[in-house]
Amino acid sequence: MGRLIGAALAVVILVLAAFVGYRTATFTAPPPPAAVPIPNTGAYAIDASAAAQHLAQAVRFRTVSMTGAPTDDRGQFEQFQSWMQQTYPAFHAAARREAINGLGLLYTWAGSDPGQPPLLLLAHQDVVPVPDDTRTAWRVDPFGGVIQGGAVWGRGSIDDKGSLVALMEAANYLAAQGRHPKRTILFAFGFDEEIGGAGGAQQIAAELARRHTRAWFVLDEGMAAIARHPLTGGPASLIGISEKGFATMRVRAVGQPGHSSIPPRDTAVSLLSEAVTRIHNMPIQHSIEGGPALAMMRALAPNISLTNRMALANEWLFSPLLQQRLASSPTAQALLGTTVAPTMINGGVRPNVLPAEAVAMINFRVHPRDHVADLLAEARRAVADLHGVTVDWESPPLEASAVSSTTSSSYALIAALSHQILPRAPVAPGLVVGGTDSRSYASVAENVYRFQPVLFTDDDLETIHGVNEHLSVQNLDRMVRFYIGLMEAGAMQ
């Protein structure tokens, strides 16, 4: 009998091992769709130092997003726009330029075949401010437009004047050679991306919708190639196929006001603390399945160590182990699920006075598998027995964007060009944890991708919205080549 059980067990283990092995071996990306013909981007006669000079000039316009503050400087945007017209004359002669809602820019480079859905390329004109208390940490004047050590320095050199200038360089290069697109190419440049895009991207997208424009795909900033991917330790080109939603929850607790010498069992502050803790800890799914994470891991599989690949391919078996390892990484948590961050708390005016109310804010970054209505319902359930606690969205919540295809011809085109320009970086889809203008264009395009064809180190990434933002001339050169290639292969063949 014991022998029989032993034999049965051995069979089970063998079958299990075979299944785990099979899943590990087949844990890879589906083959790319029929290879896309792309031009040799290395053959373009690019003047990278002239492009760098142009980016440096662009940085000097202090196009800080206008928030209605007295320091707003609309003139900087107007000057920047006339600089664009002077600097890229061939493109401006070939394309139609329209102002949308004042400072929004929409360029139409009309194709000869109106039957082909257009290419829609995005960038934004505005930049985040440079806070006074960070000014001394900058190695150069953040609005000086300095070229030093092979890089263009300054606020916006990456985010997002780098993209805007590279797009203009690329389009002007082709236009100057007398090239004409078959497929229409649209360029949309908002002016308030850093504060939500309500005046720029949202208005341009609404105008395109009125014209019944349906783009082949949208390309915006949001992800790039990174030198060290946490999963492989090596470089990877990450194409953002979705971006997380953004929602801020207001938790309010009311209590009985009065003196604190004979307090009731609960005060507004104790109720609020309990509520915030419960919402912070409410169960939220973090998993490889059901989002861009799985597709990313499959695409990078050949570069992931065998043991890690085995675990990832068999989440059904190794889930507890994986959860334990991934829980310690905030980056992994952000990729695998909705994150919950209590960010503000306010209540009370004196140490010996019971406040009538206390209020906290909890910021959610919503994973594509979750919906804001469910999160709110879950939070309300978590605090249902706390008398005097109410939970609402502070402002209209934003769902995660739709997840774009990784098997489309447009994804294949972006991937092929990225691979040619950054051959050591395998291409994989990714999830953007921040927000970009591209979310506004979801309804006017078949797919939306977020990718800057540049290679960033961890240090480079910290400079975006931070101090010492700079873009290497090599990266600028990569961008210009990529965009020329994209326009040629995507719209001129």
- In this complex, which beta carbon is closest to Zn ion, that of residue 406 or of residue 436? 436
| Shortest Cβ 385–Zn ion spacing (Å) | 43
- In this complex, which beta carbon is closest to Zn ion, that of residue 290 or of residue 434? 434
**Alpha carbons 421 and 426: distance in angstroms, whole number:** 11
For residue 64, give the DSSP letter.
B
Q: Which of residues 93-152 bind Zn ion (CB under 5 A)?
A: none
- In this complex, which beta carbon is closest to Zn ion, that of residue 159 or of residue 169? 159
Choose the catalytic residue: 126, 194, 221, 370.
126
| Shortest Cβ 437–Zn ion spacing (Å) | 8
Q: Which of 92, 155, 160, 435 binds Zn ion (CB under 5 A)?
A: 160
Residue 205's nearest CA partner among 188, 221, 193 is 188
For 221-280, give the DSSP string.
EEEEEES--TTTSS-EEEEEEEE-EEEEEEEEEE---EESSS--S--HHHHHHHHHHHHH
Give, in degrees to the nearest 5, the angle at Cα 353 between 350 and 358. Answer: 80
**Alpha carbons 72 and 155: distance in angstroms, whole number:** 16
Of the candidate spans 157-165, 209-217, 347-355, 481-489, the one that interacts with Zn ion by CB under 5 A turns out to be 157-165
193 classed as catalytic: yes
- In this complex, which beta carbon is closest to Zn ion, that of residue 160 or of residue 243? 160
> Binders of Zn ion: how many residues, by CB under 5 A?
2
Q: Residue 388: left (phi > 0), alpha (psi -120 to 50), or beta? A: left
- In this complex, which beta carbon is closest to Zn ion, that of residue 160 or of residue 477? 160
Tokens coding 231: 């999963």
| Shortest Cβ 239–Zn ion spacing (Å) | 16
194 classed as catalytic: no
Asked if 159 interacts with Zn ion (CB under 5 A), we say yes
| Shortest Cβ 456–Zn ion spacing (Å) | 14
Of the candidate spans 158-166, 228-236, 259-267, 444-452, the one that interacts with Zn ion by CB under 5 A turns out to be 158-166
**Alpha carbons 241 and 239: distance in angstroms, whole number:** 6
* Neighbouring residues of 14: CB distance < 8 A, sequence distance ≥ 6: none
Of the candidate spans 43-51, 159-167, 248-256, 328-336, the one that interacts with Zn ion by CB under 5 A turns out to be 159-167
Site string for Zn ion, 169-198 (x = CB under 5 A): ------------------------------
| Shortest Cβ 159–Zn ion spacing (Å) | 4
- In this complex, which beta carbon is closest to Zn ion, that of residue 223 or of residue 299? 223
| Shortest Cβ 445–Zn ion spacing (Å) | 18
Amino acid letter, residue 55? L
Residues 129 and 76: beta-carbon distance below 8 Å: no
Run of H or E including 57: helix 48-60
**Alpha carbons 469 and 126: distance in angstroms, whole number:** 15
Exposure of 420 by Cβ count < 10 A (0-12 exposed, 13-18 middle, 19+ buried)?
middle
Choose the catalytic residue: 169, 192, 193, 220.
193
- As annotated, the active-site residues are 126, 193
Which parts of this chain interact with Zn ion (CB under 5 A)? 159-160
